[in-house]
Amino acid sequence: METTATTGYDVFTENCPTRALLDRIANRWTTLIIGMLAQHQPRRFNELRRAIGGISQKMLTQTLRDMERDGIVQREIFPEVPPRVEYSLTPLGRTLREPLSALADWSVRHMDEVRAAQVRFDGARAGATRSEAP
């Protein structure tokens, strides 16, 4: 990871602003929104909402607003009736596509290994409980 020496920032320090930024990007909703916009953009609010299973209107609104404020997403309003609002990635937002899609891909690619580990873990705990029982 980058060191404090080169930038003055340190993500391991609680009050460094990079910590709050990391929190906003290392986040399932940001990952999924960027994943969707990377495939096809611009997208309208309701298109994003339909494409990302389980996201609430409130969460999508808040996450897009944070992403717009951070300069990751661009919001364009077209003066139609009703007004059309479209979202797309900014050049800065496009630099997040690769690390975030690597993370989503990791989840898909290693799901079976993780499931096998979970079965082993739960089995070991169940065994420990049995052998501790009187």
Query: Which residues would be at the binding site for its own copies (CB under 8 A)?
Result: 1-2, 7, 9-15, 17-19, 21-23, 25-28, 30-32, 35-36, 38-39, 51-54, 68-72, 92, 95-96, 98-111, 113-118, 120-122
Select 1 or 134, whichever has its Cβ closest to its own copies.
1
CB of 86 to its own copies, least distance (A): 18
Select 8 or 134, whichever has its Cβ closest to its own copies.
8
CB of 64 to its own copies, least distance (A): 12
Residues in the chain: 134
- Nearest CA to 70 out of 41, 40, 85, 92 is that of 92
As given in the structure block, the two tokens for residue 113 are: 């290994």
Asked if residues 103 and 34 have their Cβ atoms less than 8 Å apart, the reply is: no
State the helix-helix crossing angle for 28-39 and 97-109, rounded to 10 degrees: 110
> For residues 126 and 22, what is the distance between their CA atoms, to the nearest angstrom?
36
Locate tokens 């897009």: which residue? 64
CB of 120 to its own copies, least distance (A): 8
DSSP state of 26: S
CB of 39 to its own copies, least distance (A): 8
Select 86 or 101, whichever has its Cβ closest to its own copies.
101
